[in-house]
Amino acid sequence: MSYLEDSSKNGDPVRPGEQWFFYWKTSAALWESRILQFQPHEVVFIPLYWGFHAESATEWDFGRIQPERDILRLTQLLTHHGRKFCWILPLTPAPFLPNGGVPVPAARVMSVNTEGVHLAVLDQEQKLNKMYSFFEPKVFQSFASFVKAFGSFLASSKIKASVWGAQFSYYQDGKNISFMEDRSLAFEQGFSRYLKKNNPNGNDLTETKREAQLKETFTEEVLSLFKTTAEAGLAPFWGGVQKIVALGAGPKETIERSFDGGKSQLEYTKDLFNHYVNHQWITSALLTQKEKKDSLERILGEHFGSREIAERYNYESYGAELTEEFRPFGVISLFGGRVSEQFQRLGLTAFLDKHFRWLYQRHEELEFTPEWIDVHHDKIKFFHGRDLDRTKFGQILKLFLMGQRILLDLEGLHPDLDKRLQIFLLENNLKMQSVNYLTTTNIVELGEGRFITFEGEKLLSEPQKEKFWQHIFRYLNLVQPELQMDDDVFSLWRIRGTTPHELSYLDVRRVNFYNPTSYKKIISIKTHKHFAFMRMIDPIKAQAKSTPDGVDVELLPNGKIALDFGHYEEA
């Protein structure tokens, strides 16, 4: 085995990004010096290359045989230097690991995607990692054995660091695809056994849609099996599951990245902002230093950096009240509706992309915890009736009573929940205002709280649905500087509280602009009297000047600039 003592021309293979530490990529003698390269405040994440520890199908080495497997010594070094750390255990094939992480004896059948292509991924050193199927029975047997041995090792060594399960996916053709998705021979054989077990009398798979649904269910059940096995075997240390999108990991990207030109900064930036809007966590561990440069490097550092990492893994949490520290800023949250693409069909996402670009985020689930509720109190929250059960419906009613603004598309709402809403209004003596404009809209007000329901089904075929959203957002009275810029210029907002010298403002908002193209770009910011331009920060190939209406910005290729605005009391 050869060890890379220094950063290669492609970057640092031992510390590839997001505070990850690839212990197997370097000599154990160099671990300490490499650990000290992390900032003292950074949490160190240790992905487990579980196949690397295999001596046989059921025997695992944690340092007794090879020093590079001595993860007890690794944790002792981290503890000695006062570093926080945790483990990342892949629950799917991992694109940055040889064989996807699978031990050699169990790596029998390569994963095949739905287009019949064997999955393989270029890593940071331009080496090709082949992905092997997790539907091969020996892979699960080996994984379960490793989890048991690793759990015993952690308990006996009294290592208290958390273990996070990781489900990896890649982004291609506008959607995330799990590395668990497979159509290999191992998958088809497993699927056949699954069908016979669940329906001994046979299944009618003449309908392509029915077969696809069953295969998706089977995949989810196997994914759940790996998760529950890890959770049970590592229960005292289990931190939860993170879904992680690997930049550059898609089959089409692998081909593109193999050529000299590679994938462009613009395309990577588009992907990254899509993941941001969809509240998806990423890893850039596969990207070379040449790929991870200019705009991409700045966006990763400024918006997917150590503070956001600590927040994502529950090491830190933004409080309810604004402080003098900048935090991510958005005004709208969309919950559910992803499977049916309901928000797209309603014209809502198109409206948001036009008027509140990158100021909204989509979430699979409502995280109903006191901390989350406090931090996201001011965001307008959209829900779709088909996604709600009794528990979720009760939670959004509570959010309304707390003074939050809720919008609910009634399409698909269960009749029992509709009855519950009517009882809720009667019990709390709340009056409902009805408005008929393109569809039926009902508004309930309670203090600062707003509960707005509408019949989205009537909007689906309405050619003027944008006017409906204009009326809704005019009523909600969202105040935000207006940005006029090309689609391939990107921006993200942050917000902080005021200092003692800024008491004339409600808050301070910072917008970061990025130009990942090879062309000069002009941006115009209209403040509409509610905002005052304060300063520009760290301009790189950029300049800004005040205008009577706000600020004009010139961004050269790969330019970047941040602007601060004071937010005045709203009239």
Residue 11 lies in a domain: no
What is the spatial distance between Cα 378 and Cα 330, in angstroms, rounded to a whole number? 9
DSSP 296-341: HHHHHHHHSSHHHHHHHTTS----SS--SS-EE--SEEEES-TTTT
What is the spatial distance between Cα 145 and Cα 60, in angstroms, rounded to a whole number? 9
What is the spatial distance between Cα 109 and Cα 317, in angstroms, rounded to a whole number? 43
Paired sense of beta strands 85-90 and 332-335, if any = unpaired
CB atoms inside a 10 Å sphere around CB 330? 20
Residue 543 lies in a domain: yes
Residues 467 and 489 in one domain: no
DSSP 207-224: SHHHHHHHHHHHHHHHHH
Paired sense of beta strands 550-567 and 521-526, if any = antiparallel
Residues 196 and 279 in one domain: yes
Residues 144, 218: contact at Cβ < 8 Å?
no
**CA 409 from chain center: how many Å?**
25
Residues 98, 129: contact at Cβ < 8 Å?
yes
What is the spatial distance between Cα 389 and Cα 411, in angstroms, rounded to a whole number? 14
Residue 203 lies in a domain: yes
Residues 559, 515: contact at Cβ < 8 Å?
yes
Residues 138, 106: contact at Cβ < 8 Å?
yes
Give the model's pLDDT for residue 446. 95
Residues 163, 238: contact at Cβ < 8 Å?
yes
Residue 105 lies in a domain: yes
Residues 148 and 98 in one domain: yes
Q: Using only the alpha carbons of the chain, give its radius of gyration.
A: 26
Residues 472 and 488 in one domain: no
CATH code, 244: 3.20.20
Residues 439 and 509 in one domain: no
Give the model's pLDDT for residue 338. 65
Q: Please list, in sequence order, all residues whose beta carbon lies within 8 angstroms of the beta carbon of residue 7, skipping any fewer than 6 positions away.
A: 13, 289
Query: In the listed set 476, 509, 534, which residue is the last one of a domain according to the structure?
Result: 476
The domain tally of the chain equals: 3
What is the spatial distance between Cα 308 and Cα 298, in angstroms, rounded to a whole number? 14
Q: Which of 49, 57, 41 is nearest to 23 (CA)?
A: 49
What is the spatial distance between Cα 71 and Cα 163, in angstroms, rounded to a whole number? 14
- Neighbouring C-alpha atoms within 13 Å toward the C-beta of 368: 13
Give the model's pLDDT for residue 335. 94
Residue 9 lies in a domain: no
Query: In the listed set 476, 504, 527, which residue is the last one of a domain according to the structure?
Result: 476
Q: Which of 529, 522, 524 is nearest to 480 (CA)?
A: 529
Residues 280 and 364 in one domain: no
Residue 269 lies in a domain: yes
Residues 115 and 77 in one domain: yes
Q: Please list, in sequence order, all residues whose beta carbon lies within 8 angstroms of the beta carbon of residue 318, skipping any fewer than 6 positions away.
A: 311, 327, 375
Query: In the listed set 280, 312, 344, which residue is the last one of a domain according to the structure?
Result: 312
Residues 458 and 499 in one domain: no
Q: Which of 141, 71, 72, 69 is nearest to 102 (CA)?
A: 141
What is the spatial distance between Cα 517 and Cα 81, in angstroms, rounded to a whole number? 42
Mark the ranges of the chain whose per-residue pLDDT is less than 50.
1-10
Give the model's pLDDT for residue 341. 85
Which domain, by its residues, includes 192? Answer: 23-312
Residues 63 and 113 in one domain: yes
* Six-digit token string for 38: 């992390």
Residues 141 and 238 in one domain: yes
CATH code, 544: 2.60.40
Residues 37 and 80 in one domain: yes
Residue 14 lies in a domain: no
Write the DSSP symbol of residue 104: G
Residues 222, 134: contact at Cβ < 8 Å?
yes
Residues 88 and 168 in one domain: yes
In angstroms, the Cα distances linking 459 to 406, 419, 439, 465 are 19, 23, 7, 6
**CA 69 from chain center: how many Å?**
31
What is the spatial distance between Cα 368 and Cα 364, in angstroms, rounded to a whole number? 12
Residue 318 lies in a domain: no
* Six-digit token string for 207: 């309908």
